[in-house]
Amino acid sequence: MARKNFSDLRDAARRDPERSRRIDEAKQRAEGEIASYRLAELRKSLGVTQVELAEMIGKSQSAVSQIEHGEIGLSLEMLRAIVGQLGGEVEVTAVFDDRRVLLEA
Protein backbone atom coordinates (compact mmCIF):
# COMPACT_ATOMS: atom_id res chain seq x y z
CA MET A 1 0.00 0.00 0.00
CA ALA A 2 1.48 3.33 -1.07
CA ARG A 3 1.83 6.10 1.48
CA LYS A 4 0.74 9.65 0.78
CA ASN A 5 2.29 12.61 2.46
CA PHE A 6 0.26 15.33 4.08
CA SER A 7 0.95 17.98 1.44
CA ASP A 8 -0.43 15.69 -1.30
CA LEU A 9 -3.59 15.05 0.72
CA ARG A 10 -3.98 18.74 1.53
CA ASP A 11 -3.54 19.76 -2.10
CA ALA A 12 -6.09 17.19 -3.26
CA ALA A 13 -8.60 18.40 -0.67
CA ARG A 14 -8.08 22.03 -1.66
CA ARG A 15 -8.86 21.27 -5.33
CA ASP A 16 -12.46 20.49 -4.35
CA PRO A 17 -14.15 23.88 -3.65
CA GLU A 18 -16.73 22.45 -1.23
CA ARG A 19 -14.12 20.52 0.70
CA SER A 20 -11.85 23.54 0.75
CA ARG A 21 -14.69 25.67 2.18
CA ARG A 22 -15.35 23.11 4.92
CA ILE A 23 -11.65 23.00 5.78
CA ASP A 24 -11.53 26.79 6.06
CA GLU A 25 -14.65 26.86 8.25
CA ALA A 26 -13.24 24.17 10.55
CA LYS A 27 -9.93 26.01 10.79
CA GLN A 28 -11.73 29.26 11.65
CA ARG A 29 -13.78 27.51 14.36
CA ALA A 30 -10.66 25.90 15.81
CA GLU A 31 -8.78 29.20 15.88
CA GLY A 32 -11.73 30.83 17.64
CA GLU A 33 -11.83 28.06 20.23
CA ILE A 34 -8.10 28.40 20.85
CA ALA A 35 -8.44 32.18 21.30
CA SER A 36 -11.36 31.69 23.70
CA TYR A 37 -9.41 29.07 25.67
CA ARG A 38 -6.41 31.39 25.94
CA LEU A 39 -8.66 34.20 27.10
CA ALA A 40 -10.06 31.97 29.85
CA GLU A 41 -6.56 30.94 30.88
CA LEU A 42 -5.49 34.60 31.00
CA ARG A 43 -8.47 35.51 33.15
CA LYS A 44 -7.78 32.62 35.54
CA SER A 45 -4.06 33.40 35.76
CA LEU A 46 -4.94 36.93 36.85
CA GLY A 47 -7.24 35.58 39.56
CA VAL A 48 -10.37 37.10 38.03
CA THR A 49 -13.64 35.17 38.10
CA GLN A 50 -16.14 35.11 35.26
CA VAL A 51 -18.53 37.12 37.44
CA GLU A 52 -15.89 39.78 38.11
CA LEU A 53 -14.94 40.02 34.43
CA ALA A 54 -18.59 40.24 33.45
CA GLU A 55 -19.06 43.18 35.80
CA MET A 56 -15.94 44.87 34.40
CA ILE A 57 -17.14 44.67 30.80
CA GLY A 58 -20.86 45.17 31.41
CA LYS A 59 -21.91 41.67 30.35
CA SER A 60 -23.45 38.71 32.16
CA GLN A 61 -21.42 35.85 33.60
CA SER A 62 -23.23 33.65 31.12
CA ALA A 63 -21.95 35.77 28.21
CA VAL A 64 -18.37 35.51 29.50
CA SER A 65 -18.77 31.75 29.78
CA GLN A 66 -20.15 31.55 26.25
CA ILE A 67 -17.23 33.61 24.92
CA GLU A 68 -14.73 31.39 26.72
CA HIS A 69 -16.35 28.25 25.36
CA GLY A 70 -16.50 29.57 21.80
CA GLU A 71 -20.29 29.50 21.81
CA ILE A 72 -20.56 33.13 20.79
CA GLY A 73 -18.15 34.97 18.57
CA LEU A 74 -15.50 37.22 20.01
CA SER A 75 -15.32 40.52 18.16
CA LEU A 76 -12.18 42.61 18.14
CA GLU A 77 -14.09 45.29 20.06
CA MET A 78 -15.06 42.81 22.80
CA LEU A 79 -11.54 41.40 22.91
CA ARG A 80 -10.17 44.91 23.42
CA ALA A 81 -12.70 45.54 26.20
CA ILE A 82 -11.82 42.31 28.00
CA VAL A 83 -8.06 42.66 27.66
CA GLY A 84 -8.24 46.34 28.57
CA GLN A 85 -10.16 45.58 31.76
CA LEU A 86 -7.58 42.93 32.61
CA GLY A 87 -4.85 45.58 32.27
CA GLY A 88 -3.50 44.79 28.82
CA GLU A 89 -3.66 45.98 25.23
CA VAL A 90 -4.55 44.19 22.02
CA GLU A 91 -2.17 44.43 19.08
CA VAL A 92 -3.28 43.33 15.62
CA THR A 93 -0.54 41.97 13.40
CA ALA A 94 -0.72 40.77 9.80
CA VAL A 95 1.59 37.80 9.32
CA PHE A 96 3.14 36.97 5.95
CA ASP A 97 5.76 34.42 4.98
CA ASP A 98 8.47 37.08 4.89
CA ARG A 99 7.28 39.68 7.42
CA ARG A 100 4.95 40.77 10.19
CA VAL A 101 3.13 44.09 10.03
CA LEU A 102 1.65 45.72 13.13
CA LEU A 103 -1.73 47.09 12.05
CA GLU A 104 -2.86 48.65 15.30
CA ALA A 105 -1.27 49.52 18.59
Sign of the dihedral through C-alpha 88, 92, 96, 99: negative
Instruction: Give the span between the Cα atoms of 75 and 69, in whole angstroms.
Output: 14
Which CATH number belongs to the domain containing residue 80 in this structure?
A: 1.10.260.40
Q: What does the pLDDT read at residue 62?
A: 96
**Orientation angle between helical segments 17-45 and 6-15, nearest 10 degrees:** 120
* pLDDT per residue as tens digits for the range 31-81: 766 777 788 999 999 999 999 999 999 999 999 999 888 888 788 899 899
Q: Is the pTM of this model over 0.85?
A: no
In a domain, residue 2? The reply is no
Please tell me the total count of domains within the chain: 1
